[in-house]
Amino acid sequence: MTPSKRASFEVYFSEDGLRQVSNPVRMKILEMLQENYDEGLELKDIYLLFENSGQRKSKSTLWEHLKILIDKKLVIERSHPDDKRRKLFILNSKFVGTTEMPMAEVSEQLSVIIQESIGDPLTFANGLFCAVRFGIEGLTNFNLSPVLREIGRTIGKEIASTLLGENLDVILKDLSKFWELHKLGHVEVVSKAPITLVVTECYECSMMPNVGKCLCAQDEGILEAVFETKFKKSCKVEEIECYGTGHSHCKFNITFPLL
């Protein structure tokens, strides 16, 4: 999961809680450290990466930015294992999400969603889910999709353990039955090459208006984890149509990059 280059600011979670980063140089440093999470980077490495990307900065300038990141506990400084005179900078936080323009249309719909969901326990539970998730996004500019995708991956691993099928056809049937049984929606397999699923009555977004973007990051994570667990290979799931884009269904493409 990498930060969005279109964001006005990015959000990281440190030991002191959520931190906003708006400076483009510091955002770039954090991105570099995220890409080199295990080994960390020296100041000279960061300098060369900036230079190679056409964004040359002096070492003194980069050091000033690093000091701010260290002060905010987003980055830590450690001695190099081979030479204690050399310093390594290591990411000490986790990228959470990005800010976007407020989803005013969503926040206007929250009262309507709750009003229409009252009376049926399942519908009301879905309404609460939508209200909390999209209320946060709409009222605070905070994009929860990266977090929900990660949560979905954890959920997906547990779901995969309940699916007994080993080949694609059986796994798809079992997945469809699971969705039906747990009132998550109705799954239709429209293609197997590539795997394409269409979900109607989606629990995650079917109550939402057209907000101009796909909304089912949690389902993307769930499906990725299910297929990766069952087939033991890397999988990419992308939602290409959604209630949030004005469709009457959600459509997911599932691909295996190495195939």
Q: What is the mean pLDDT of the chain?
A: 87
CB 90 within 8 A of CB 40: yes
Q: Answer yes or no: do 65 and 185 share one domain.
A: no
Mean pLDDT for 55-81 is 94
pTM for this predicted structure: 0.61
In a domain, 5, yes or no: no
Q: Is residue 3 a part of any domain in this protein?
A: no
Say whether both 174 and 115 belong to one domain.
Answer: yes
Q: What are phi and psi of 251, to 5 degrees?
A: -125, 130
How many domains, the chain? 2
Per-residue pLDDT for 259 more than 50? Answer: no
Between the two ends of the chain, the Cα-to-Cα distance in Å is 22
- DSSP, collapsed to helix, strand or coil, labels residue 114 as helix
Q: What is the pLDDT of residue 2?
A: 53
pLDDT at residue 140 greater than cutoff 50: yes
Pair type for strands 10-14 and 83-91: unpaired
- Report pLDDT for 107: 60
For residue 78, what are the domain limits? 10-97
pLDDT at 105: 57
**What digits encode the pLDDT tens for the residues 182-228?**
999 999 999 998 899 999 999 988 888 787 889 999 999 999 999 99
Contacts of the segment 53-59: beta carbons below 8 A, 24+ positions apart: 53/28, 55/28, 57/25
pLDDT digits (tens, 9 = 90+) for 76-102: 999 998 888 899 999 999 887 776 543
Q: What gap in Å lies between CA 135 and CA 142, rounded to an integer?
A: 10
65 pLDDT above the threshold of 70: yes
Instruction: Give 190-201 pLDDT, tens digit per residue.
Output: 999 889 999 999
Distances (CA, A) of 77 to 28, 91, 152, 175, 192: 17, 9, 33, 46, 49
Give the DSSP letter of residue 98: E
